[in-house]
Amino acid sequence: MSAQKVVITLDKVVKEFPDPADKGKTKAALHEITAKVRTGVITGLVGPDGAGKTTMIRLMGGLLEATKGTVRVLDMDPIKDSSGLRQAIGYMPQKFGLYEDLSVQENLNLYADLRGVLGKEREESFGRLLEFTSLQRFTDRRAGRLSGGMKQKLGLACALLGQPKVLLLDEPGVGVDPISRRELWKMVEDLAKSGLAVLWSTAYLDEAELCDEVLLLNEGKLLFDGSPKELTGRVKERCMHIRNIEGNRRQLLTRALNRPEVMDGVIQGRNVRILLKEGAKKPDLAELEAGPKAELASVTPHFEDGFIDILGGGPGGHSVLAEQLEALPLDGAVVIEAEHLTKKFGDFTATDDVTFKVTRGEIFGLLGPNGAGKSTTFKMMCGLLTPTSGTAKVTGYDLKRSASKARQQLGYMAQKFSLYSTLSVRQNLNFFSGVYGLYGAKQKKTVEEMIDVFGLKPFLEAAPDTLPLGYRQRLALACAVMHEPAILFLDEPTSGVDPVTRREFWTHINGIVEKGVTVMVTTHFMDEAEYCDRIGLVSQGQLIATGTPDDLKEMAATKENEDPTMEDAFISLVQQHAEKTKGAAKAKE
Amino acid sequence: MEKEKLKPESEKTLRERFGAGFLRRLWALSYKESLQTLRDPSSILVAFILPVLLIFIFGFAINLDSTRIRMGLVMEDMGPEAQRFAASLQGSPYLSIVRGTRKEMEQAVMEEKVRGFIVIMHDFSRKLDRPGEMAAMQVITDGTEPNIAVFVENYSRGAWQTWLGQRALARGEKMPPDIQLEPRYWFNPAAESRNYIIPGSITIIMTVVGALFTSLVVAREWERGTMEALLATPVTRTELLLSKLLPYYVLGISSLLLCVAVATFILKVPFRGSIPMLLVVSTFFLFSALGLGLLLSTLLRNQFNAAQAALNAGFLPAMMLSGFIYEISSMPHLLQYITCLLPARYFVTSIQTLFQAGDIHRLLWRDVFFLMLSSAFFIGLTAYHTKRRLDD
Amino acid sequence: MFHRIYTLIIKELQTLLRDPEGRRFLILPVLMQLCLFPFVTMEVKHNTLGIMNQDDGPLSVELIQRFATAKAFENVVSIKSEAELKETVEMQKALLVLRFPSDFSRALESGKSPVLQVILDGRRSTTGQIAMGYVADILQAYSLERAEALVPGATGASPLRTSLVVRHWFNPNLDFTWYILPSLVAIITTIGALIVTSLSIAREREQGTFDQLLVSPLTPGMIMLGKAIPALIISMSQASIILLAAIFVYRVPFSGNLFLMYGSMFFYMVSLVGFGLFISSICSSQQQAFLGTFSFMMPAMLLSGYSAPIDNMPQWLQTITWFNPLRHFIVISKDVFLKNIDFFTVLEHVWPLWVIAAITLTGASIIFRFRLG
């Protein structure tokens, strides 16, 4: 391994853009950033959406020019020596930069030609990269038909052509399931070990934890620069599990978060995980009414804890939204029911005989790798797709027969697409309340309540996409719950959102659930999965496991790994199932 | 270059990479662009199916030779002279005559069943033979469509004059000397409007196809995020721009030649020019059309807006102001000056000339000159706005 | 139910009008076309006439002076040689050239009928023919005047005792703007109605908000109504702008019944919205919707009878044009405007619109439901 060398330096870099809201003025995307990136390690560029990660990567790639300060990459100025620099860096933008109509080989050919990788070097590179990414079998397949994970690998392969000295990866893990993310990580780790400088930007804090070094950005400011251990070291001994809880863990979390000594808390399966304030004493479990058997156990701190600590704590456990809702009777009724649900697209069976039930007041999570049929199932449950066979029932109504009645009971929220960017915030609120049948004084009152609860007053005339991410999220939630639905469908609700906003979101969800609302959620985030009461794991169109998060972890426990994380459980259960079906197929032959 | 100092051993490969790379990169990008285009069924639709469909529609739908006009005849007088006039009217190949009462014909005009009618007044025969009185015939046209009204008037006059001549002859009377007009249609002896409408329509079609194509391609790269990846490679502005022009030029010229082939071989419009001249003129016209689309795409970076703008800036002006249906010299002067800025205007004259008159070099090269100017203008402006960075 | 549809309509209008760019796309093309189109006509005005006078008599000169004062010709260029003639026609320096033969005056004076050769440019033969009509008119007037001058009293010459009186109904001076503006009411609004329906659904599909509508209790019928009514509102407002401009700016006399105008316009828009919904029901992206709209709109305009009369088309094509709503409405608009046609005459043009609307709306809703299922 070669000695570590600093190849990228940023010195008091400021980048300003024209402010879309205020013409003629500029808005700083990066404030006086000073940082270094070295060879031989993976440097994580971590922060929520809108923190300035992409801007920073683009500055290093010579795609943007710094307003103030200096950027040096491989001793070059990215703007003045752009032609030299472009030859020496590999850059993978957010959507991987692939041409979807071109095959794998054609994409590689294009980038090889553009980077001047010719002759023997070219053949060698192709062979090496295809083997490295295990894409040999797919060279003729169009990039658009590859799975998310394969696209990502191909994007990486294209960026690696011409043997760059520096690799800039902009959110390579977005929208990709944990299995593919883990594979990609291994590949990049090997590259770093061979002497490359790698900058990996991500909004996933669990990825950050694996980096050798981390640059933590928030709102254009560099909050932390160093090894993740250093950050987690700060919160050492302050992370606790409350175990063996009796009673409702969501209510317990709310109580815990309201304690002065507790900085942050989340639900992890049947346990509640809390982060204590610096120097604070442990909370009294009796006062928290955690039950007689409850105990506190120290756990290893995570990067996320450190991040919350730097930001000064989470949002508190109280949901004003939930207060506005009328409680539904917790009668244990089955409100979501899938019976032998099957969906075929031509020959391909996307969902294969899936059956499950969700009772009132439960959070049910659907998890699974990309393309496993998770979103097909989800879409059938909220009426966006009609099943080929089987029934999907919501509060007793068959979505096929009495669709309109069933839908009146639904609230639906998806991070990507729930709001009209062409309407103002107030117009969105009016629209969604109107569509769900609110009108007149009641509509007015509800909208005003939502504006109050979520603090949307200052943004009423703005377009949703100009809102800070946290507020956009609140607005989306407001639009989904205004008609007080019995069931809330959440499709990857918090992807790309910073942990604090995610906490706040789940505080509301927990509050709503306490009022008897049922929640069905799909997610790639394992910490989100931990909030669920029960999880359905989907793979190859089938529901391969259902149970509480802890049940799933137990199923995946082995001798080598007695206490698997949710991610471990996910990966091992999916792989076990894949091997089983492969075995069965072989046996058939 | 500091980089070369840093690594002297790679100097040669570096030089090779920056210098000779131009053609290789251009080829790679153009190849990619072609693959993308050929694999997208909608581009085949735009390049080949739409043009052929449109040329057929233009060829059959836009016929300005008023072949047959429905006209009414009200005979209030049934005298022999009136009958003779009616016969001369019915003999006209341009008119199909319906007889009826005045009331019926008035209603027929209202319902657009006839375009006008002739009334032979009830005292026609009587007055004709009585000195000092005028025997009147009345022509009523439907003025709501002035073009057709003019045709109705002219055809009626024609029939009237034929009748006058016959009558004079029959009575052995001497007609005042008449000046006869002898029309000679150069290049188009039968004066068929389709012979110039169809070549002219190629201009409209190619304006639309050329601009529509390129209006989408740059915007598409931005929308799909591939532009960013390209910008991070050693690609230069020139290579980027040329790779967006050349493949579509090839596609456009094939589409254009297809149109010319359909026009000559299927629609049987005579083509009298030479192929090389056609290629020269078309090349520069296509460059202007492609340049316009590319400019809009580069400026707007949004497929939807770019396509809509291409339609408004390409199709409508080409249709209305190129002189293909509506004569430019009859427009108000201000409008005539505006048409001078339209590449379509020059291509309409040259392609009509190529089809009907052949290689009239002075005219063609004048048009080529203006088309070169407009190509240079659009492509130059596009180059000026082509970004090599995301923020410049 | 009504307030839900109302909510959808308000949303659609807000979407279209909130963004300044969007407002511009709704208004600017209308204004641009309103300013340009009325001046683009088939009328032949201020053209150039070429004269090749090989005659040395006085009569040709007299005639040439008459040509020079005609409305159709602004410039008269004189041509001296065959080479110059070739150059003039080939380079399109004159719309037509009159060639006076060397014996023109002599022949005319001696009572013979001289032949005047007219050389027309075959590349614009239609305009040439129209211009030639003007030349013929001038010649005829000249002949008659001469005849009258030669035979004073004209008692014996019977031709002079008949006359052909031409009246142009509804448009006595054959003013082209009277024809163009009522037609524009139909043409321009076509673009608006189609774009608003077909592209707005495609945009919602691409942005994912369409899913949001589908998970709500709205029925497909309500969603379709929610797209159709705003399109009607927008395009009927556009039509009103053109109507007002026609009456007050271009001074075209509106002689008909406003109720009939708007009533038939309503059905026209419904049939267009039917096409718009149909296109959007089979498209999944904006690009496809755009191409689809365009592929419908361009033939619809060419086959509307505006640029070229439908009577001149081959019979099979005339049959196809029956399914073109624009063809029917262009006639209604023009005839209500200028002819003040009555209810029953309007009805004759309106019922095809009902048939078209019924077909496209049914088709759209079937495909709509099918795609949801």
What is the predicted ipTM? 0.84
Rounded to 5°, angle at Cα A248 from A245 and A252: 75
Do residues A567 and A556 make contact, with C-beta atoms less than 8 angstroms apart?
Answer: no
CB contact under 8 A, C207 and A414: no
Distance CA A17, CA A20 (A): 9
DSSP 8-class letter at A282: P
CB-based contact, C62 to chain B, within 8 Å: no
Q: What is the mean pLDDT of chain C?
A: 86
Among chain B residues, the shortest Cα distance to A18 is held by B391
Of B203, B9, B4, B160, the C-alpha closest to B73 is: B160
The pLDDT assigned to B1 comes to 37
3-state helix, strand, coil in chain A (%, to 5): 35, 25, 35
Strands (E) located in chain B: 69-75, 95-99, 116-120, 135-142, 180-186
Say yes or no for a CB contact (<8 Å) between A83 and B27: no
For A114, which residue in chain B has the nearest alpha carbon? B25
The pTM (predicted TM-score) of the whole model is: 0.84
How far is the C-alpha of C298 from the C-alpha of B54, rounded, in Å? 8
CA distance A120 to C230: 63
- Residue B9 pLDDT > 80, yes or no? no
What gap in Å lies between CA A462 and CA B290, rounded to an integer? 38
State the pLDDT at residue A416.
62
Q: Is A353 helix (H, G, I), strand (E, B) or coil?
A: strand
- On whether the CB atoms of residues A541 and A380 are closer than 8 A, the answer is no
The whole-number pLDDT of residue A407 equals 86
Identify the pLDDT of residue B3: 40
From first to last of its 589 residues, what are the pLDDT tens digits of chain A? 446 788 899 999 999 888 766 667 788 888 888 999 999 899 999 887 778 888 999 999 888 889 989 999 988 888 888 888 888 899 998 878 889 889 999 999 999 998 888 888 899 889 988 988 888 888 898 988 887 778 888 998 999 888 889 999 988 877 677 888 888 888 889 888 888 899 999 887 888 888 999 999 888 889 889 888 888 888 888 888 888 888 888 888 888 888 888 888 888 888 888 888 888 888 888 888 888 888 888 888 888 888 888 877 777 777 777 777 777 777 888 889 999 999 988 888 888 899 999 999 899 999 988 778 888 898 888 888 888 899 999 888 888 887 788 888 889 987 665 788 888 999 999 999 999 988 889 999 999 999 988 888 888 888 888 887 778 888 999 999 998 899 999 988 877 677 788 888 888 898 889 888 999 999 888 888 888 999 999 988 889 999 998 898 888 888 888 788 888 888 888 888 888 888 887 777 6
**Residue C157's pLDDT is what?**
44
Among C91, C119, C157, beta carbon nearest to B363: C91
A40-44, A326-330, B157-161, C27-31: the lowest-pLDDT one: A326-330
Cβ count near B342 (within 10 Å): 24
Could you identify the residue written with the tokens 């005659």? C55
Q: How far apart are CA B281 and CA A197, in angstroms?
A: 54
In this structure, the strands spanning A262-268 and A89-92 are unpaired
Phi-psi region of A348 (alpha: psi -120 to 50; beta: other; left: phi over 0): beta
pLDDT at C369 over 90: no
Q: Measured between alpha carbons, how far is A489 from A358 in angstroms, rounded to an integer?
A: 12
Distance from CA of C298 to the nearest CA of A (A): 29
Sorting pLDDT into bands at 50, 70 and 90, what band is B392?
Answer: low
* Distance of residue B275 Cα from the nearest chain C Cα, in angstroms: 19
Between these two residues, C153 and C302, which has the higher pLDDT value?
C302
- Report the pLDDT value the prediction gives residue C355, as an integer from 0 to 100: 96
| pLDDT single digits (tens) C44-81 | 888 889 999 998 888 888 888 888 888 788 888 999 99
Chains that touch A (3 or more CB pairs under 8 A): B, C
Read off the pLDDT band of B20 (50, 70, 90).
low
Q: Check residue C155 and give its pLDDT.
A: 38
Average pLDDT over residues B117-121: 91
Of A65, A97, A99, the CB nearest to B36: A99
Nearest CA in chain C to B108: C345
Are A473 and A497 spatial neighbours (Cβ–Cβ below 8 Å)? yes
When the pLDDT of each residue in chain B is averaged and rounded to a whole number, the result is 85
pLDDT in the model for residue A451: 92
Q: What is the sign, positive or negative, of the torsion defined by CA atoms of C172, C178, C180, C183?
A: negative
pLDDT at C309: 86
| Nearest-Cα residue of chain B relative to residue A155 | B229
d(CA C8, CA C216): 12
The answer to whether C304 touches C329, Cβ cutoff 8 Å, is no
Give the nearest partner residue to B143 out of C140, C155, C174, using CB atoms: C174
pLDDT for B4:
39
Distance of CA C67 to the CA centre of its chain: 30
Angle of CA points C219, C222, C225, to nearest 5°: 150
Nearest chain A alpha carbon to C2: A437
Of B316, B144, B111, B115, the C-alpha closest to C182 is B144
Do residues A13 and A69 touch, judged by C-beta distance below 8 A?
yes
Cβ-based neighbour number of residue A311 at 10 Å: 16
Of B5 and B298, the structure prediction assigns the larger pLDDT to: B298
Of the residues C2, C6, C9, C11, the best mutation for testing chain A's interface (the one with the most A CB atoms within 10 Å of its CB) is C11
User: Which residues have C-beta within 8 Å of that of residue A309, sequence separation ≥ 6?
Assistant: A234, A235, A238, A263, A264, A275, A278
Q: Is the pLDDT of residue B47 over 70?
A: yes
For B57-113, the pLDDT digits (tens) are 888 888 877 668 899 999 998 888 888 888 888 888 888 899 999 999 999 999 889
DSSP output for C254-323: --S-HHHHHHHHHHHHHHHHHHHHHHHHH--SHHHHHHHHHHHHHHHHHTTSSSS-GGGS-HHHHHHHTT
CA distance B163 to B85: 6
- The answer to whether the CB atoms of C6 and A405 lie below 8 A apart is no
Least confident range of A78-87, A214-223, C219-228, C229-238: A78-87
Chain A interface mutation, best of C1, C7, C204, highest count of A Cβ atoms under 10 Å: C7
CB C353 within 8 A of CB C324: no
pLDDT digits (tens, 9 = 90+) for A82-119: 888 888 899 998 878 889 889 999 999 999 998 888 88
Q: What is the average per-residue pLDDT within B226-245?
A: 87
- Judging contacts by C-beta atoms under 8 Å, the chain A residues touching residue B2 are 75-76, 81, 84
pLDDT digits (tens, 9 = 90+) for C88-106: 988 888 989 999 999 888 8
> Distance (Å, rounded) from C-alpha B84 to C-alpha B171?
14
Measured CA to CA in angstroms, residue A122 lies from A117, A166, A367, B10 at distances of 5, 19, 40, 16
pLDDT in tens, C161-216: 677 888 999 999 888 899 999 998 898 888 878 888 888 888 888 778 888 888 88
Query: What average pLDDT does this structure show over B291-314?
Result: 80
Q: A274: part of which helix (H) or strand (E)? A: strand A271-276
Asked whether the predicted pLDDT for residue B5 surpasses 50, the reply is no
For residues C258 and C236, give the distance between their C-alpha atoms in angstroms, rounded to a whole number: 13
Cross-chain CB nearest to C122 (options B146, B195, B360): B195
**Between B4 and B211, whose confidence is greater?**
B211
pLDDT at C249 over 90: yes
Cβ neighbours of A416 in C, within 8 Å:
208
User: What number is the average pLDDT over the span C269-285?
Assistant: 88
CB-based burial, A528-564: b 16+ in 10 Å, e otherwise: bbbbbbbbbbbbbbbbbbbeebebbbebbeeeeeeeb
- Residue from A307, A314, A300, A299 nearest A231 by CA: A307
Which of B228, B238, B243, B302 to substitute to test the interface with A, most A CBs within 10 Å? B228
Q: Alpha-carbon distance A91 to A392, whole Å? A: 45
Q: What percent of chain A has pLDDT over 90?
A: 19
Residues of C in contact with A436 (CB under 8 A): 216-217
Identify the H or E element spanning C22. Answer: helix C20-36
- Residue B10 pLDDT level (bands cut at 50, 70, 90): very low
H-helix or E-strand spanning residue A226: strand A221-226
State mean pLDDT over B208-225: 81
CA atoms of B86 and B125, how far apart (whole Å): 13
- Distance CA(C253)–CA(B361), nearest Å, equals 49
Q: Can you give the pLDDT at residue B219?
A: 80
| CB atoms B178 and C113 under 8 Å | yes
Sign of the four-CA dihedral B354, B360, B361, B364: negative
Please state, in angstroms and rounded to a whole number, the distance separating the CA atoms of residues B296 and B222: 13
Whether residue C283 has pLDDT greater than 90:
no
- Chain C interface mutation, best of B326, B327, B342, B352, highest count of C Cβ atoms under 10 Å: B327
* Most confident listed range (A141-145, B17-21, C145-149): A141-145
Alpha-carbon distance of A588 to B17, in angstroms, equals 55
List C-alpha distances in Å: B201 to B209, C320, C327.
12, 21, 21
